[in-house]
Amino acid sequence: MSLVKERRKTRQISVGSVKVGSKSPVSVQSMTNTRTQDVQATIKQILALEKAGCEIVRVAVPDMEAALAIEKIKQDITIPIIADIHFDYRLAIASAKAGVNALRINPGNIGEKKKIKAVVDCAKEHKISIRVGVNAGSLEKNIEKRLGTTAQAMVESALKNIKILEDLDFHDIKVSLKASDVERTVKAYRLLASQTDVPFHVGVTEAGGLYAGITKSAIGIGMLLTEGLGDTMRVSLTRDPVEEIRTGYEILRALGIRSRGPELISCPTCGRCRIDLFKIARETEKALLDHSSKIKVAIMGCVVNGPGEAKEADIGIAGGDGKGILFKKGKVIRKIDQDKLVEQLLMEIENIEIEKSGEN
């Protein structure tokens, strides 16, 4: 039995070619941090994100130039693109006309009802979906005054914004409820779960740098996914967005929900290790980033747990004194000098990948 409960049943929506909802795999998204108006820089970053496995990308649209840039950006990228807009309904309409696949805009922040209706009509016409993106740091003043920046306040804001859209007969909605801490984030999604069938975009916002950011995202998104909550996710890191995608897939893999590329098991080393395992692990990891096969590779410092772990891996090494022992499915193949280890390990991995692809 898996650790992960059955997915919460949701309506199904589309972000371009990607379906979001409980009938579809949990998708992994990110956001560019280039100036959207700088078309070439933005395309370059989106292509790097695509290569890393990003399935939906969001760009900031702070002005009309950024909205118009979307048309050119779309010509060179494959994945669907979402325009991130605050307040200005004209930017939403311009983004839709420029071919954007979805909007992230909170209708409650747009202003007059006729402006909201203009955005919704435009979204209907262009068949694009809308994410209601509630953030504990930017709640409506009247809600915050009454409820503070609590999970309850976030849920109330979400329900209010969803209702505005549904009252206009617009239903292609997903919703996010993000706080910069795990507790409020998890509580907010739990609270909203039974009150709507809108799909959930999950994430912890402003999670921070490498250690705090990965840790908070893994715990927060991880808890939600184990409870069946979450249809698409964004890991937020103060880092290159490609690292958000890597972390997103690591979360999905750790929970057995989805996997992408080889899995590396590697030991922390200890006083027994007589080989530069960190370097070997780093180089192997880097070389395997582009691989799409789902093989399991064990990189172990010594023979205490090495052969045992290697048994469960397709291939592995265990360090000796300046040498490594190469294992395949737990069977010793040969000894290899430390300076040839990565090269030979990668060669053997490629052989296994060729064998495996032949099996299909």
Residues 223-242 that bind its own copies (CB under 8 A): 223, 226, 236-239, 241
DSSP notation for 85-97: --S-HHHHHHHHH
Q: Which stretch binds its own copies (CB under 8 A): 18-26, 118-126, 258-266, 335-343?
A: 258-266
For residue 151, what are the contacts with CB-CB under 8 A and spacing of at least 6?
Answer: 177, 179, 184, 187, 188, 191
Closest approach, Cβ 348 to its own copies, in A, equals 19
Can residue 187 be called a binding residue for its own copies (CB under 8 A)?
A: yes
Alpha-carbon radius of gyration of the chain:
23
What DSSP state is assigned to residue 200?
Answer: B
Can residue 247 be called a binding residue for its own copies (CB under 8 A)?
A: yes
Can residue 201 be called a binding residue for its own copies (CB under 8 A)?
A: no
Nearest to its own copies of 227, 353 (CB atom): 227
Can residue 275 be called a binding residue for its own copies (CB under 8 A)?
A: no
Can residue 57 be called a binding residue for its own copies (CB under 8 A)?
A: no
Can residue 2 be called a binding residue for its own copies (CB under 8 A)?
A: yes
Q: Where in 9-28 is the site for its own copies (CB under 8 A)?
A: none
Can residue 354 be called a binding residue for its own copies (CB under 8 A)?
A: no
Can residue 282 be called a binding residue for its own copies (CB under 8 A)?
A: yes
Can residue 338 be called a binding residue for its own copies (CB under 8 A)?
A: no
Nearest to its own copies of 170, 269 (CB atom): 269
* 8 Å CB contact between 202 and 176: yes
The token pair that represents 51 in the structure block = 């290569």
Can you tell me the distance from the alpha carbon of 323 to that of 337, in angstroms, rounded to the nearest whole number?
5
For residue 202, what are the contacts with CB-CB under 8 A and spacing of at least 6?
Answer: 176, 189, 220, 221, 224, 225, 229, 230, 231, 232, 233, 234
Can residue 186 be called a binding residue for its own copies (CB under 8 A)?
A: yes
The token pair that represents 143 in the structure block = 């809600």
Can you tell me the distance from the alpha carbon of 217 to that of 235, in angstroms, rounded to the nearest whole number?
6
Question: What is the β-pairing status of strands 263-266 and 232-234?
Answer: unpaired
Among 134, 173, 251, 342, binds its own copies (CB under 8 A): 251
Mark residue 357 as left, alpha or beta (left: phi above 0; alpha: psi -120 to 50; beta: remaining): alpha
Closest approach, Cβ 164 to its own copies, in A, equals 20
Can residue 330 be called a binding residue for its own copies (CB under 8 A)?
A: no
- What kind and span of H or E run contains 278? helix 277-288
Among 49, 257, 277, 325, binds its own copies (CB under 8 A): 277
Among 50, 121, 197, 250, binds its own copies (CB under 8 A): 250
Can residue 86 be called a binding residue for its own copies (CB under 8 A)?
A: yes
Can residue 276 be called a binding residue for its own copies (CB under 8 A)?
A: no
State in Å, rounded, how far the first CA of the chain is from the last one.
27
The token pair that represents 108 in the structure block = 């409650």
Can you tell me the distance from the alpha carbon of 56 to that of 24, in angstroms, rounded to the nearest whole number?
14
Q: Where in 99-158 is the site for its own copies (CB under 8 A)?
A: 135-139, 149
Q: Which stretch binds its own copies (CB under 8 A): 49-57, 93-101, 306-314, 348-356?
A: 306-314
Q: Where in 28-47 is the site for its own copies (CB under 8 A)?
A: 31-37, 42
Angle, nearest 10°, between helix axes 151-167 and 182-193?
A: 40
